[in-house]
Structure 1
Amino acid sequence: MNALFNNYSRRPISLVEGKGTFVKDSNGKSYLDFTSGIAVLCLGHAHPSLVKTLQEQSEKIWHTSNLYEIPSQVKLAETLVKDQHLSHAFFCNSGAEANEAAIKMARKHTGKNHIITFENSFHGRTFGAMSATAQEKIHNGFGPLVDKFTYLPFNDVEQLKKSVDDSVAAIMLEVVQGEGGVNPITEEFAEAIHEICSTSDILLIIDEVQTGIGRTGTRFAFEQTVLKPDLVTLAKGLGGGFPFAGVLGTSEIYDTFSPGSHGTTYGGNPLGVAVSQTVLDIVFQDTFLNEVKEKGEYLVQKLNEILPADKLTVRAKGLLIGIDCGSLEVAPTISKFEDAGLLLCGAGPNVLRLLPPLNVSYEEIDQGIAILEDVLIKQLNEQTV
C-alpha cells in the first residue's frame, strides 16, 4: 500500500521514457506502444515539434486565466472550425469536462432537460458525464444520478424513433464507441439521427473525445457521416499529451455560452493552446490524414490475414481498431502482449483496442502485427484445448 488511492487497476509497469511509438520501463525493457496513452499521444511520445513548442511557450507565459484576452485561443478556435458548419470554440481541460459543458449548454439553449444517449457509450466520470454514460458499471455505488437521461440501443433506428418526442433536448453519441467496444455508427442510424435533429428542436451532441483530431482519418469522425452536430466535444489528441479539451458549436449556440454561463480556471491556458496549435498544424494536413486512412486500412488488412475470421472480428475507423475476441477475455491476454513487448488496452471484457500514434510507421505496424499473431493465436489455441 502506498499514499495513492486505489482507484486504478494499474499494470505492474513503470514507463520512464518514450520516443515516437516506443517506450521504456524502469527496468530498461522496451515496448511498442499501441495505446498512445489511450488515444492521447496522437503524434507519439516526445514529438520534436511539440517539445520545441512547449519549451518556447514555457519561457514566455504559462497562465493568465480567462480574465484576460488570449489571442492564441482565437487562432486555435479558427483552425478547429475552418471549413466547418461549426463556428465557435470553448476550451477546457478534459473530455468529461467538455461533455459537462455540452450537456449544460444543450439544456440551457433548448430550455429542455431530456437527453438521449446510447448503450455501451462512455462520456466521462463526473456526475453529468457519468449520467450520460449508459454503462451500469460506471454508475454503481454513487447514488442518484443526474436525471432525464434515456439510454437506447446503439444503431437501433426503430427504438430511436419510438423514443423521440417534444421533451428531448438533445441526442448525444459517439460516432465510434471507443470504450464500449469500438462500435461504429451505421449509415442508416446516422441518417435517422440527422433527419430527427434537422426537422425538430433537438440538438445533436457528438462526443469526439477519442475519435477526433485525425484518429479516424478525418479531422473529426462525424465528417465521414451525414451528421451535422450542434456541439462537438474534444480532448485526448487535441493536446497531443498535454491536458487539453474543448467544445465546438454552431453560431446558434453562441448566445447560450454567455458570460457567467460556464467557465474554467485552467482551460485554454497559453501552454495548452500553443501545444494544441502545433498538433493541428501537423495533423490537419490532407496528406497526413490520408496517411492515417491508408495505415488504418493496411493494419486491418494485415489483421484479417493473420486472424481466424470464425473466432475474431475486426472493427475499425482509421487508427481506432478493435479486435472482438468473442468469448476470450482480453485482460489476461493484454499481460501476455506486455511480456512480448506490445502495449494494448481493452474496450470492454472481450475486445482488444489498438490505438497506435497517427504517425506510426509501416515497419512499426508490421512489428505489432507479428507480436499480435504470435500471442493471440497461442491464446486462442490454449482456449480450445
Structure 2
Amino acid sequence: MNTFGPPKLVLARGEGAHVWDVDGREYVDFLGGIAVNTLGHNHPALVAAVSDQLSTLGHTSNFFTTRPAVELAERLLSICSQPDAPEGRVFFANSGSEANEAAIKLSRLTGRTKIVVMQDAFHGRTMGSLALTAKAAYREPFEPLPGDVTWIPFGDVEALRGAVDEQTAAVVIEPLQGEAGVNVAPTAYLRAAREVTSAAGALLWFDEVQSGMGRTGHWLASAPSGVQPDVVTLAKGLGGGLPIGACLAWGEAAHLFGPGNHGTTFGGNPVVCAAALAVLDTIEKESLLDHATAVGERLRAGVGADARVTDVRGEGLLVGLTLAAEKAPEVVAAAQDAGWIVNATGGDRVRMAPPLVVSFDDVDALVAAWPGILDAAGA
C-alpha cells in the first residue's frame, strides 16, 4: 500500500555500515534503518544469536516465558536505572509505537487521563501514540483521537509548571526529539520535569525509542541528567534490526498492570530477546558507547564546518543539521547519488543516525564528500 511513496532503493545486502542495492551499487548507511541497525548489517554476533535461538525455540506465546526474556528484562533494568531507583518491571512489545501504547495504558491506571506532551514530539502511528504525536498531517486524517492531551513548548520549564496539575497522569518527553530534527532537552529541563511530576503525583515518562540503547554514547540519552523517570519506552536500536519494544517502569508504576490489563502475542519472544541481548553484549564488548561519542563528535564537527550548515545538534551518533537553505530533500537525493544514505526531517533539516559500528574512515569520507553533496543539491 502507498504509505511511504515509491521506495528510493531496492537494497539487497549489507555489511557493517555499508549496503548494496540489487544493481550492485554500494552506499554508506548514515541512517541505520532510522537508528535501528545498532551493530550495522550482518554483524556475526547478532546472526549467531538469532540462528542459535531459532534452532532451539522460536515462539511460546504469552502463556509462558523463556530464559532470554527474563535475562533481557533484568539486563535492561540494570542498565537503565539510576543507582537509587526503586524496583522495576518490563513489558515487552514489538515496536516503539506498541511500547508507547503500553505506557499510555499504564498512565490511565493511575486514575487520571491528562497527558502533557511536547510540541514537535513523535511517539508513533497507532491511534494512542498518534494522539501524542505533534505533526498535524499525521494526526488530522484520523481524528478524533483518544486521550486528554495538553501540548507545551519543548524545553520550557514555566510552561511545564503551568500545565501539570492534579489531573495529570503523565508527562512524556523525548530527551532527544529525533523526528523533529534532533532537538536536545537541556539537563535542567529533565530535572525540572522530575520535580514537577513528583509534586503533582504524575508519572514522568521518557520516550527513548530513538535515542536509547547507546545511540548517544550512553545507554539512555537521559542518563547523564541523573533523573530517574517512572517509565521509559525503548525499541529501534534495542533489537539491532529485529522488531522489539519495551516499556520499563519503576516504583508504583511498575505495579499498575495486572492480569488482563494488557497483552501481546509476539512481544518478548525468545528470538528477538536473544537478538537484543547480543546487541547489548556487543555494545559492551566492543566499547561502542565510547566509540559513538568519539566518532559522533568528529561527524558533527566535520559536517558543521561548512558555512551552509547553520546549526548542528545531537549527541553521539544521533545528529541533526539545519541548512541555510530549504534544501534538505535535495541534499538527501544528492547524497544518495554520491553513495551516502541520510534523511530529511524538514525542509531545512537533515538527520544522520549511522550504526554505532561506523568507522572513523567512513565519517572522514562523508565529511570530505559533504561540500560536493551540498553543491549538487544547490544548497
Indicate the TM-score class for this superposition, using the shorter chain for normalisation. over 0.9
Unaligned segments of structure 1, at least 5 residues = none
Q: Which residue of 1 aligns with 2:103?
A: 102
The match for 2:321 is: 323
Q: Which residue of 2 aligns with 1:148?
A: 148
Kept in 2: contact 1:320–1:354 (CA 8 A): yes
Kindly tell me: are residues 50 and 244 of structure 1, through their superposed partners in 2, closer, same or farther at Cα, counting changes over 3 Å? same
- CA distance, structure 2, for counterparts of residue 348 and residue 314 of structure 1: 14
Give the match for residue 89 of structure 2.
88
Matched residues in 2 for 1:116 and 1:143: separation? 18
Further displaced range: 252-261 or 165-174: 252-261
With the length of structure 1 as denominator, give the TM-score of the two structures.
Answer: 0.94
Summarize the Cα distance change of 1:164–1:369 in structure 2 as closer, same or farther, 3 Å threshold: same
Task: Determine the structure 2 residue equivalent to 1:174.
Answer: 174
Measure, in 1, the Cα distance between the counterparts of 2:155 and 2:5: 31
Paired position in structure 1 for 2:354: 356
Asked if the contact 2:322/2:350 (under 8 Å) is kept, the reply is: yes
Decide whether the 8 Å contact of 1:342 with 1:371 is kept in 2.
no
CA distance in 1, matches of 2:286, 2:249: 23
Figure out how many residues of one structure are paired with residues of the other and give that number. Answer: 374
Q: Is the 8 A contact 1:117 1:152 kept in 2?
A: yes
C-alpha separation in 1, matches of 2:290 and 2:70: 27
Q: Residue 164 of structure 1: CA displacement?
A: 1.7
Give the AA of the match of 1:308: A
1:14 to 10, 18, 35: 10
CA distance in 2, matches of 1:23, 1:135: 31
Structure 2, unpaired ranges of 5+: none
Report sequence identity in percent.
39
User: What SS does the aligned partner of 2:233 have?
Assistant: strand
- Counterpart of 1:106 in structure 2: which amino acid? S
Of stretches 119-128 and 341-350 in structure 1, the one that deviates more from structure 2 is 341-350
Shift of 1:377: 4.1
Deviates most, 207-216 or 324-333:
324-333
Counterpart of 1:312 in 2: which secondary structure?
strand
| Superposed counterparts of 1:2-151, under 5 Å | 5-82=1-78, 84=81, 85=85, 87-108=88-109, 110-151=110-151
Once superposed, which parts of structure 1, at least 4 consecutive aligned residues long, lie more than 4 Å away?
Answer: none
Match of 2:294 in 1: 294
Give how far 1:140 is off: 2.1
Aligned partners of 2:37 and 2:348: how far apart in 1?
24
Distance in 1 (alpha carbons) for counterparts of 2:188 and 2:75: 31
Normalised by the size of structure 2, how large is the TM-score?
A: 0.95
Contact conserved, 2:168 with 2:200, CA < 8 A, in 1? no
Does the Cα contact within 8 Å between 2:53 and 2:271 map onto a contact in 1? yes
For residues 32-91 of structure 1, the C-alpha deviation after alignment (integer angstroms, 9 at most, x for no partner) is 000110000000001011111111111111101110132221111111111522622111
Any idea what SS the aligned residue of 2:252 has?
Answer: helix
State whether residues 21 and 34 of structure 1, in contact with CA within 8 Å, keep that contact through their aligned partners in structure 2: yes
Structure 2 CA distance for aligned equivalents of residues 70 and 55 of structure 1:
16
Kept in 2: contact 1:190–1:226 (CA 8 A) = no
Paired residue secondary structure (2:222): helix
Q: Secondary structure at the match of 1:16?
A: strand
CA distance in 1, matches of 2:286, 2:151: 37
Contact 1:203 1:230 (8 Å CA) reproduced? yes
